[in-house]
A and B are shown apart, each in its own frame.
Chain A
Amino acid sequence: MKLFVSEGNPHCVKVLVVLELTGVKCDVQLVNHEDKVVPFLNRPVLPVLLLPSGQHLFSPNAICQYLFEVGGKEASNSSSQFLEWEATELQPVLIQALHMVALQGKTHDAGLVLKGSLSWLEQCLSKRRTQFLTAETVTVADIVLWAAFYPILADPGFSADLGELQLVRDWFERVGLIPACVRASQKVLQGKGLESLKNFLKKQPTPHTQRKDSQPSTNAIETEDLDPAMTEEEIEATAQAWCKGLPDCPDAPQRQHPILPQEGKRNVLVTSALPYVNNVPHLGNIIGCVLSADVFARYGRLRGWNLLYVCGTDEYGTATENKAREEGLTPREICDKYHTVHSAIYKWFQIDFDYFGRTTTDRQTEISQNIFWRLHERGFLLEDTVEQLRCERCQRFLADRFVEGVCPHCRYPEARGDQCDKCGRLINAVELKEPQCKVCGQTPVIRTSKHLFLDLPKLEGDLEQWLERSLSSGDWTPNAKHITHSWIRDGLKPRCITRDLQWGTPVPHPDYREKVFYVWFDAPIGYLSITANYTSQWEKWWKNPQQVELYNFMAKDNVPFHSVVFPCSLLGAQDNYTLVNHLIATEYLNYEDTKFSKSRGVGVFGDMAKDTGIVSDVWRFYLLYMRPEGQDSAFCWADMALKNNSELLNNLGNFINRAGMFVSKFFEGCVPEIVLREEDKCLIAQVCWELKQYIQLLDKVRIRDALKCILNISRHGNQYIQVNEPWKKIKGGDNDRQRAGTVTAVSVNMACLLSVLLEPYMPTVSVTIRAQLQAPACCGSAMLAADGCFLRSLSTGHRIGTVSPLFQKLGSEQIEALRKRFGGQQPEEATHAGEVPIGTASSTAPKATATAEPATNASVSAADPQRATQLAAAVSEQGDKVRALKAQKADKSVITVEVNKLLELKKELALTEGKNPEPSPQKGKKK
């Protein structure tokens, strides 16, 4: 056992007294104040007792209690009560008093600070007839309290103030006579009294005169942003700029289609990955591409950039053909049907596309074939015969997703023909082990077929040159950079661009008449053809890298197609195409503690969001708040309710509503006069700092982080109102009334700023606030110009409209009901920690919503079609056996045993199938 103490540390007095008094054997080591003895504590703390077990005791009182107990004296209720009082009540005032006396020489003030505690102690003593606090002998309570008071009560300057507290003085002297006390105080304070404590006290954080009220529990640890350190001049300048109000500016011009690049403007082209038409997008898809791009596009328009945002459904490919066969429609009919579904969903989510098109158009054929010919003429296409899998029963080549088998790299049993979901590696279908036709389950045969390849190795030099420029000058998310680098590092290989299918853009070359373009080649060209359908002058955007900045939004699984493959197509075409400048890729969004799955009914899909009764703006808010930016994140109902109730309702909504209500109620709806004090200027400077942060972050497409700035502003506002209490001041004299007016006017102007900042995130709420405040139309563009400036947009006398609450509480029952409704039939076993790629332009990347989960639980062999087949065979075999036994009229007990075996097998089979997320083609065979 070892006790660590330091000189001049008042907390060490008590432990040393107790150590001597109890006679417990223990080494004492003298260390410096700054020595960190306890490994898990952030600040150096002393005294510390290292227990025989290796644990550290860092609380002086716990050390004293322990030593007393080891020394054979149990603590009583009443002594533990004194210890608790000492720690919670006395110490905070004591450290403050010590500060005053030793560092500031304010002996008198220190007396006032300690007065309460001393008279409390006097009272306690007066109720007792014992020599010491709790008994006739000294207990741990006496030592702890005596040692706590000692440095200050023993100070000659202070003793006078003990005046009437006769009992305290007697008790203090009585304890002080104990030899152990004398020696310990000598050891720590070295007879220098308070002087010796100076070093220690200087290292302690300055105690507050008033104990700060604990923060309301909400958002106790919300942000990591350091508060801005601003000089007085800066604060003054910000306040002055604010007072000037809005400059004379024309109303923001209406958007005029078609939007085309303009000389001398910042021309920004925004695309989000094209959603694959045959899937209803889930929340992950929405946040991953269209919603993120929408926030950025709205922000860009606010900033006055000349911006075009295009997107559309990606419609070609095998999945559409599959879906068409399933629903008994033609591929075209399927595309029409689902394109409408997509449009409706995005409309509900208020995605403000300039144009939302589709890939199955004539322009698509025209542009893809043009790029194809240019590549062909320039020798960037190779011809090769390919071994391909063909299902003889279905009479077709099994491209991509028509075939499944064991991954040749990681042995994952459900790898698809083009990619393994487990290890993520791209696969050539013929490399699959034990391949099976997805439609009929038959083992396919290998046939050869002639195909065209894009010669990526030949384009690698151009690609690297361009990448170097784009990566260094643009804003690429770290994951996008990383994925791109690893692709290049692994070396590029020729990639096949043709497919033996019908539903696609036909290959114009006469030798490949029966073939279409492979979707990865074709789909990104959709961005161009969709723009071409929007305006015939599309080339002003797409063949204009000098004037246009291109932003691509997508989920991370889509990065290589946008950073390597598609740029190679465009570079090879040598037609001055606009290539991506900023590649913004999100990570994955999980659902609760599992993943989105359409087939199991797990998760919220775009078309269901509106049926939840939760408004679109709140959905947008939560998805953006949880945006998997830099890291994966998870959608969680309880969290959504919490964020709605704490952030939207109690923070943001509460502030804006209060600001407006004060204007209506106390000032007849007119913004009152403003006389700024120092604290108001500080607030304005703080708000301005958050505004600049917001702009800096959104310029770098840090969408989630910028949202925090908005919430910080309203948090500052709430605090400001809380401290200044305008609802009380309005009832006071002229000065108070003027103060109430200033606070109200500053607040309502902050609300106006918030309406502007909210526009990209919650457009409807933004419009509602502006209508409530009757905010001038140009305030947004004025405050968001350049690097941002908080301006007084609502001047004195400005009349606001009718104010009403903006948000509603989400009740726990409502949320619980929703959670159950979208929880699907979760298996009893632990759900797999699977992830879902989000926001994919799915034809160019895996469509994971419908793919199987990793078989992490081998004993249940979840969704393992092979296991299911084996089991089905075993069931039928066992069934035959039972029937045979019955026919032979065998002994009943023998039959029962076999029947039980059969039931077991059936149960296992059901389990295996029940977990299978896809309607398994094997099912048919089992019957």
Chain B
Amino acid sequence: MALKELSSLEKCLGLKKPNKYSTQGEKKVPVLQNNQGSALVGLVTIASHLVCEAQRTELLGDSAEQRAVVQQWLEYRVTRLDGCSKDEVKVILKELNQYLEDKVYMAGNCFTLADALMYYGIHHIVMELAVEEKERYLNVTRWFDHIQHYPGVRHHLPPVVVLRNRVYPSSQH
């Protein structure tokens, strides 16, 4: 799963030569064997490394503050979102929905790695949402729809249909 995601990220970043990854442990943590000897371990570490390789460091945030916010959501993705339980999914959707209420992107005013990895990580959840749930988490859905249509992001994942009109009265929730 994480490997597919990394290869999509490579394409998204415009890296020509695909890297070879392996995984380690029960949780299948991705490992990147690079030429400099030591291996890189962990999705966030590897993804950040790829961004630097592609010389797109703006995707990690364009100021110290933004970089911290990006890091924080990357961590949220791998600690909270990955492998979360059924009940936890609702908490996460609720938190993200509140967070995204006044935001277009996860961090700052432009697309960052946090958007990409959060999108890859939450895709299977949004995919399963019923129309009514998509509306309950309207801000997440809006952000999600935006990111899945962001040029070059989607790759290995099927698009999720998002209705353009609201079908449920908002007062219900």
| A residues neighboring B (CB under 8 Å) | 39-43, 51-53, 55, 57-59, 61-63, 65-66, 69-70, 77-78, 80-81, 83-85, 87-89, 91, 127, 211-215, 217-222, 590, 592-593, 626, 630-634, 636, 638-639, 642, 646, 812, 830-831, 833
**B131 at the A/B interface (Cβ < 8 Å)?**
yes
**Distance from A76 Cβ to chain B, minimum over Cβ atoms (Å):** 10
> A630: which B residues are within 8 A, CB to CB?
172
Q: Give Cα distance in the complex from A57 to B68, angstroms.
A: 8
Chain B 96-120 residues near chain A, CB threshold 8 A: 98-99, 101
> A218: which B residues are within 8 A, CB to CB?
128
Q: Beyond A62-B69, A91-B79, list 13 extra A-B contacts (CB 8 Å).
A: A51-B65, A59-B75, A62-B72, A78-B38, A80-B48, A81-B41, A85-B41, A221-B125, A590-B165, A590-B167, A632-B167, A638-B161, A639-B161
Let me know if B64 and A636 touch, CB within 8 A. no
B107 (CB) vs chain A CBs: closest residue: A55
Which of A78, A89, A91, A631 makes the CB contact (< 8 A) with B168?
A631
Let me know if A214 and B85 touch, CB within 8 A. yes
**B15 at the A/B interface (Cβ < 8 Å)?**
no
> B44: which A residues are within 8 A, CB to CB?
80, 84
Annotate B78-104 by CB proximity to A: 1 below 8 A, 0 otherwise.
110011111001110111001101000
> Which of B64, B84, B158 has the most chain A CB atoms inside 10 A of its CB?
B64
- Decide: A631 near B127, CB < 8 A? Known: A59-B71, A80-B45, A84-B42: no
Which of B68, B83, B165 makes the CB contact (< 8 A) with A51?
B68
**B54 at the A/B interface (Cβ < 8 Å)?**
no
**Distance from A23 Cβ to chain B, minimum over Cβ atoms (Å):** 15
Let me know if A77 and B48 touch, CB within 8 A. yes
> B43: which A residues are within 8 A, CB to CB?
84
**Distance from B43 Cβ to chain A, minimum over Cβ atoms (Å):** 8
Let me know if B42 and A88 touch, CB within 8 A. yes
Chain B 44-63 residues near chain A, CB threshold 8 A: 44-45, 48-49
Query: What 3 pairs between A and B have smallest CB-CB spacing?
Result: A833-B165, A66-B68, A40-B98
**Distance from A881 Cβ to chain B, minimum over Cβ atoms (Å):** 42
Q: Give Cα distance in the complex from A65 to B166, angstroms.
A: 41
Q: Give Cα distance in the complex from A40 to B71, angstroms.
A: 18
Let me know if A646 and B128 touch, CB within 8 A. yes
Which of A65, A631, A638, A830 makes the CB contact (< 8 A) with B167?
A631
Which of A58, A66, A211 makes the CB contact (< 8 A) with B83?
A211
Let me know if B75 and A84 touch, CB within 8 A. yes
Which of B69, B89, B158, B161 makes the CB contact (< 8 A) with A220?
B89
**Distance from A1 Cβ to chain B, minimum over Cβ atoms (Å):** 10
Q: Give Cα distance in the complex from A41 to B41, angstroms.
A: 29
> B78: which A residues are within 8 A, CB to CB?
84, 87-88
Let me know if B99 and A42 touch, CB within 8 A. no
**B169 at the A/B interface (Cβ < 8 Å)?**
yes
21 residue pairs of the A-B complex, CB under 8 angstroms, read A39-B98, A40-B95, A59-B72, A59-B76, A62-B72, A62-B75, A69-B64, A77-B49, A80-B48, A81-B42, A84-B45, A85-B41, A212-B83, A213-B83, A221-B129, A221-B133, A626-B131, A631-B172, A636-B131, A639-B130, A831-B164
> B65: which A residues are within 8 A, CB to CB?
51-53, 55, 66
A830 (CB) vs chain B CBs: closest residue: B164
Let me know if B68 and A62 touch, CB within 8 A. yes
Question: How many interface residues does B have (CB within 8 Å)?
Answer: 55
Q: Give Cα distance in the complex from A698 to B84, angstroms.
A: 33
B37 (CB) vs chain A CBs: closest residue: A127
**Distance from B81 Cβ to chain A, minimum over Cβ atoms (Å):** 10
> A636: which B residues are within 8 A, CB to CB?
131, 161, 163
B132 (CB) vs chain A CBs: closest residue: A631
Let me know if A634 and B163 touch, CB within 8 A. yes
> A83: which B residues are within 8 A, CB to CB?
75
**B40 at the A/B interface (Cβ < 8 Å)?**
yes
**B124 at the A/B interface (Cβ < 8 Å)?**
yes
**Distance from B96 Cβ to chain A, minimum over Cβ atoms (Å):** 8
Let me know if A81 and B40 touch, CB within 8 A. yes
**Distance from A686 Cβ to chain B, minimum over Cβ atoms (Å):** 15
**Distance from A620 Cβ to chain B, minimum over Cβ atoms (Å):** 18
**Distance from A816 Cβ to chain B, minimum over Cβ atoms (Å):** 11
- Decide: A85 near B83, CB < 8 A? Known: A217-B124, A831-B164: no
Q: Give Cα distance in the complex from A642 to B127, angstroms.
A: 9
> A51: which B residues are within 8 A, CB to CB?
65, 68-69
**B142 at the A/B interface (Cβ < 8 Å)?**
no
Let me know if B95 and A42 touch, CB within 8 A. yes
B92 (CB) vs chain A CBs: closest residue: A42
> A639: which B residues are within 8 A, CB to CB?
130-131, 161
Which of A69, A87, A215, A634 makes the CB contact (< 8 A) with B131?
A634
- Decide: A87 near B68, CB < 8 A? Known: A77-B48, A633-B132, A639-B131: no
Which of B72, B79, B91, B129 makes the CB contact (< 8 A) with A57?
B72
**B67 at the A/B interface (Cβ < 8 Å)?**
yes
> A85: which B residues are within 8 A, CB to CB?
41-42
**Distance from B28 Cβ to chain A, minimum over Cβ atoms (Å):** 12
> B67: which A residues are within 8 A, CB to CB?
65-66, 69
**Distance from A673 Cβ to chain B, minimum over Cβ atoms (Å):** 34
**Distance from A82 Cβ to chain B, minimum over Cβ atoms (Å):** 9
B70 (CB) vs chain A CBs: closest residue: A62
Q: Give Cα distance in the complex from A412 to B43, angstroms.
A: 57
> Which of B65, B85, B95 has the most chain A CB atoms inside 10 A of its CB?
B65
Let me know if B128 and A219 touch, CB within 8 A. yes
> A646: which B residues are within 8 A, CB to CB?
128
